[in-house]
Amino acid sequence: MDWLLQQLINGLALGSIYALIALGYTMVYGVLRFINFAHADVLMLGAYAAYFLAPAVGGIFPLPSFTGTLIILLLSAMICAGIGILIEILAYRPLRHRPRLTVLITAIGVSLLIEFTCQHKAVFGADTKPFPQLLPEHDFNLGGLVISSNDLVVVVTTLLLLGIMWFIVQRTKMGTAMRAVSFNQQAAALMGININRIISFTFGLGSALAAVAGILYAMKAPGIDPLMGVQPGLRAFIAAVLGGIGSLPGAALGGLLLGLLETFAGGISGLSNYRDGIAFAILILILLFKPAGLLGKATIEKV
């Protein structure tokens, strides 16, 4: 029983991070209908931004502290939002009306470019760097259960951001415009919506979330390296598909489910070696049996 609860807590923490990343995939897919492979690398850049910001911010607000962490999170999110917007303008915008495959391959190219550039010794280098401690850490013991403060922070931050996202998308003018663009780009443009602005906003928002997710992920991970985004990125993508790509609640649900499944599978000896494969096996099963995902809508192709 304890074991189950413990896995549940670990799974929720991991799943929260996946959910944050998945939101970025799903939003971009919603407006542009393509998988932004570089999203995983923006996450990595977020972690590196925090890594480099930590000493500077720490000079004013000594770390570990909540204020310092908050400032680092905000700054990294802003930096990554800028990077995300830039990637879209430079690499994806010129291909807006090209076949989706062309864009997909370009996205893979952008992802590889970021990874290989960052691995170069003049940039970050390929080695793993220890991530600074941002927050005071404390393990809460609840009768056999161990809840780390980091896990709590991860879950709370995610819930908070999910709430904010929901508000932006459902209750603001920008969000309405985003939904309009994702529904029908041409019609939205005819209604006077500035498509480019909405797409930039979407990339910015998604990338900011990725930055936060990257930092949270780094806090739990042993260290950071230029390829750190790849695995969580793939998982989050699967989560987005699991929930129904294009659906925000779906991304959150998919992230949590995947985090839980993976943690439970990882906790079972014999299955743990196959952890990497399990996520993909789940993905394939979903696509085969419910291609629209858990909360997605099935679409009918017009003939």
Note the residues at the interface with another protein (CB under 8 A): 34-35, 91, 94-95, 98-106, 108-110, 112-113, 115-117, 120-121, 234, 237-238, 241, 273-274, 276-277, 280-281, 283-284, 287-288, 291, 300-301, 303
- Which residue from 206, 264, 266 is spatially nearest to 236, judged by alpha carbons? 206
In the numeric block, which tokens belong to residue 210?
Answer: 């990725």
Neighbours of 160 (CB within 10 A): 10
Nearer to another protein, 16 or 106 (CB): 106
Question: Least Å distance between CB 195 and another protein?
Answer: 20
Nearest Cα residue to 295 out of 241, 259, 257, 256: 241
For the bound state, the minimum distance from the C-beta of residue 33 to another protein, rounded and expressed in Å, comes to 9
Residue number with CB closer to another protein (43 or 165): 43
Nearer to another protein (CB atom), residue 98 or residue 138? 98
> Min. distance of Cβ 144 from another protein in angstroms?
32
Give the residue among 29, 58, 23, 63 at the shortest CA–CA distance from 43: 23
What share of residues in the chain are helix, strand, coil (percent, to 5)?
75, 5, 25
Output 43 or 72, the one with its CB closest to another protein: 43
Cβ proximity of 49 and 211 under 8 Å: yes
Q: How far is the CB of 56 from another protein (least distance, A)?
A: 28
For residue 15, the minimal CB distance to another protein (Å) is: 19
Residues in the chain: 303
Closer Cβ to another protein, 71 or 91, answer by number: 91
Q: Which is nearer to another protein, 150 or 185 (CB)?
A: 185
- Compute the least distance from the CB of residue 272 to another protein, in Å: 10
Look up tokens 């793939």; give the residue: 234
Q: Which is nearer to another protein, 34 or 166 (CB)?
A: 34
Least Cβ distance, residue 104 to another protein (angstroms): 5
Cα separation, 59 vs 285, in Å, equals 50
Q: How far is the CB of 12 from another protein (least distance, A)?
A: 24
Handedness of CA 267, 271, 273, 276 (dihedral sign): negative
By C-beta, is 53 or 110 nearer to another protein?
A: 110
- 165, 228, 248, 257 from 252: Cα distances, Å: 11, 21, 7, 9
Judge residue 119's burial from the number of C-beta atoms within 10 Å of its C-beta, 0-12 exposed, 13-18 middle, 19 or more buried. Answer: middle
Provide the β-strand partners of residue 224.
Answer: 129
Bridge pairing between strands 145-148 and 139-142: antiparallel
Q: Which SS3 state, helix, strand or coil, does residue 116 take?
A: helix
Instruction: Evaluate whether 91 touches 110 at the Cβ level (below 8 Å).
Output: yes
